[in-house]
Amino acid sequence: LSLSFIPLILFAISIAGTFLYAGIAHLTIKILKGKNTFTQTYNACAYSLVPTVLFAVIPYIGLLSIIYSIVLMTFGLSSYHEISKGKAVVAAIVPILLVILIVAALIFYLLFFDFLLFCLLLFLFSSAISFSALPPSFILCLKLALVK
């Protein structure tokens, strides 16, 4: 796999991520007795994520852009689905919490049950970021794995 395909793969993953995010939010809204369709949920989610996409890489401003996107999503979901702001906040935050829970569970599994796979993933991630041959974090993982 060539490095030139990485931006295309990341773009496809981000588009799929918006649909997944909107799907989880829509399921939450339906549980909370929301009224409209998935299209309205997707519109509210996609439009409200624009500040995050534009400013997330800037330190401090990125965090503020994430908070601002959640606020925008709250108003959009509340308006589209005719639900209270409180229910809209829940619908906006549930997908984020679910992703955090899944990532934490995956890290826990990899650290405690499949340490060598964790080292391999760490190596692949860090080498894709730094383009170095053998990052120090991978060498440390191998030393720890051999000690086990």
Give start and end residues of each alpha helix (H) in the chain: 6-31, 38-48, 50-55, 61-81, 85-112, 115-130, 136-147
pLDDT (tens place) for every residue of the chain, 148 residues total: 567 777 888 888 888 989 999 999 999 999 999 999 999 999 999 999 999 989 988 888 989 999 999 999 999 999 999 999 999 999 999 999 998 898 888 877 777 777 777 777 776 666 554 444 455 555 555 556 555 5
